[in-house]
A and B are shown apart, each in its own frame.
Chain A
Amino acid sequence: MALLEVNDLAVSYGQIEAVKGVSFSVDEGQVVAIVGANGAGKTTIMNTISGLLRARRGQISFAGQDITHWPTHRIVAAGIVQVAEGRAILANMSVAENLALGLAAAGSRRHEGGPTIATMMERFPILGQRSGLPAGQLSGGEQQMLAIARALLAQPRLLLMDEPSMGLAPLLVKQVFAIIAALKAEGRTILLVEQNALKALKLADYAYVLERGRVALSGTGAELAGNQDVARAYLGGL
């Protein structure tokens, strides 16, 4: 059974239907990517899974439970943690406080031997060096690391990553994808939304190409990445 199953999901902003009957699934330990042009509905899907937006139609199941109408905090408590687009760090709070909030989000899922703020600062040394600073004073790349570290402290069963490379310099994009590759190697389950399609496809076990709110294509990451027609038609000629 898939860990996350999305069936016939439709989401609207007023009269405008942004997602029009999308179905996909994510198995435990898999990295699944959703790629597509700007406005294809990728972030809308992520935010609906997280409960920030309401589905107009369809069903979202997580670990066998129907979570379609759950509030966000309950979805997080169940183990779906999102690294949101634009990083969504709390700029006025210190790096350490941001991390503490991540740890608190683990709630009852927190287990012995799980990550601590100290282990996360070892993994991302820059966060240790900047722990007392307001998070808003970090550079874009450091903020993304903070957002990822904070999400990992919440001990997610499913990590949603929405455009983690957005707005970062090429060197930092490489760094962020290296982190995602490391997370994959650890066996984490990740749903990744990216405009940086080729990089995402190379990493993903399975991927969906989204076009104007619909799944236009799906396949293994390698298949889609190697398909020049797909690249030209859907991924901006990559």
Chain B
Amino acid sequence: MNWQTLPQQLANGIFQGSIYALFALGYTLIFGVLDILNLAHAAIFMMTAVAAWYLIAGLGLNFVVALIIASIVGGLLGVLLDRVAFWRLRQQHAPHLSALISSIAMATIFEGMVVLLPTLGADADSRIIGADLHHFPAGSIPSGNLNFGTMLSLPPIKLLVLVVALLLMFGLQYMLRRTRLGREMRAVAESPKASALLGINIEAVFAKTFFIASALGGVAGVLYALTYNTLTSDMGNAVELKGLAAIILGGMGSIVGSVVGGFIIGLAEVLSIALGGSNWSDAVAFIVLFLMLLVRPNGLFGARATRTG
């Protein structure tokens, strides 16, 4: 390994980790509050990026405005997902496996829907986003590189991703600890029955949780698509397993854990490439996870409370 490139590799790892962390935040929030693994999270990640693409390429909106609007769209898609995929199962006290399968079905439906969406511009006849690789128009995001000495150079978007990931992590942590909604979410996570008896509207808490979690996943999707300037209907797949690894590594349901887990996976992946094992980069994430689980079966910050009632 060339030590000269180490700062650059670390920065790349942190960027990659930020994307995983952002994705994992929403993932872990839904798991923590609802006790279900939402495998349609990656589809929301992709759908939100598609929404941003329409806003930027179609309406010519600034990427920051598009990011905000698209994340709201992502949040609303999350609420829709909850109503369609999980609500009925909840009413019938269906086992967790049913919810898991239902979320996979919704992911497939979302991906199918995107394929049917009309494209913009010259290739309007082609109605396929999935098969084509879509790009954002040139100049959608600030170009050029920020140079930090001779050994580190970063495009501004990567720095933005890191800042957004950290801000959202702290924001989410604050919301969960200090606000009434956060307290209600933690109460529902621990005991839906006790929460209901405290006058908490459980269904409203579920809907808000899905909104926030999906908006977060959506932000990750938009930033990922903007950074790599690619958009496909299966773009969520690459991040999904890494996000899952991140939340298990960090401790299921832990906000800080999911972010730290995301960074560890991102760094491990990039460093494995730097060490010459590019074929191993996917495996490394899971080797790290495997080793961690041997030492700490509940993950880094895990000691997930047992849910009652």
The residues of A with any CB-CB pair to B shorter than 8 Å are 50-52, 71-73, 76-77, 81-82, 84, 88-93, 97, 100-102, 104-105, 107, 150, 154
Contact B196 A92, beta carbon cutoff 8 Å = no
Contact B199 A71, beta carbon cutoff 8 Å = no
Contact B197 A50, beta carbon cutoff 8 Å = yes
Q: Report the minimal beta-carbon distance from A233 to chain B, rounded to whole angstroms.
A: 33
Instruction: Using A52-B196, A97-B183, A100-B183 as known contacts, say yes or no to A71 and B201 having CB atoms under 8 A apart.
Output: yes
Contact A88 B199, beta carbon cutoff 8 Å = no
Instruction: Using A105-B198, A150-B198, A154-B199 as known contacts, say yes or no to A84 and B180 having CB atoms under 8 A apart.
Output: no
Contact A77 B190, beta carbon cutoff 8 Å = no
Q: Which single residue of chain A is at the shortest CB-CB distance from B201? A: A73
Contact B190 A92, beta carbon cutoff 8 Å = yes
Contact B200 A73, beta carbon cutoff 8 Å = yes
Q: Report the minimal beta-carbon distance from A206 to chain B, rounded to whole angstroms.
A: 24
7 additional A-B residue pairs with CB within 8 Å, beyond A76-B196, A90-B194: A72-B202, A73-B200, A76-B197, A77-B199, A84-B197, A92-B186, A100-B183
Docked Cα-Cα span, A6 to B187, in Å, equals 30
Contact B193 A52, beta carbon cutoff 8 Å = yes
Q: Which of B183, B195, B197 contacts A81 (CB 8 A)?
A: B197
Which of chain B's residues have a CB closer than 8 A to the CB of A107? 199
Contact B194 A89, beta carbon cutoff 8 Å = yes
Which of chain A's residues have a CB closer than 8 A to the CB of B202? 72-73
Contact B197 A90, beta carbon cutoff 8 Å = no
User: What mask results when residues 188 to 221 of chain B are scored 1 for a CB within 8 Å of chain A, else 0?
Assistant: 0011011111111111000000000000000000
Which of chain A's residues have a CB closer than 8 A to the CB of B191? 88, 90
Q: Which of A81, A84, A100, A154 has the most CB of B within 10 A?
A: A84
Q: Report the minimal beta-carbon distance from A51 to chain B, rounded to whole angstroms.
A: 8
Q: Which of A52, A84, A105 contacts B199 (CB 8 A)?
A: A105
Contact B193 A90, beta carbon cutoff 8 Å = no
Q: Report the minimal beta-carbon distance from A92 to chain B, rounded to whole angstroms.
A: 4
Q: Is the C-beta of B276 less than 8 angstroms from some C-beta in chain A?
A: no
Which of chain A's residues have a CB closer than 8 A to the CB of B305? 91-92
